[in-house]
Amino acid sequence: MSREVPLQLALPLKVTVDSKLRRQPLGKAPVVGVLKKDSPLVAHAYKGNWMRVETDDGRSGWVDQMRLGAR
């Protein structure tokens, strides 16, 4: 199983499609919130295909990398 890898620098990203912010980096993990397309995020770490992100309003959780793009 892969482990969480912190990013050297916080990475500004945005959501490319409406997405679920999850508590853990798993597709079945509880949903913390819903992110609308183009919501700005900052990524702090990754694990497998998941990025640990923080929203502008201070929520944090995990989003599948395929749903993220450069801002």
Q: For residue range 12-39, list pLDDT tens digits in order.
A: 999 999 999 999 999 999 999 999 999 9
61, with CB counted inside 10 A (0-12, 13-18, 19+), is buried
pLDDT number for residue 1: 61
Reference 21, options 10, 6, 36; nearest CA is 36
Per-domain residue ranges for the chain? 5-70
What percentage of the chain reaches a pLDDT higher than 70?
Answer: 99
Residues 6+ apart with CB under 8 A from 66: 49
Task: Tell me if the domain spanning 5-70 has CATH number 2.30.30.40.
Answer: yes
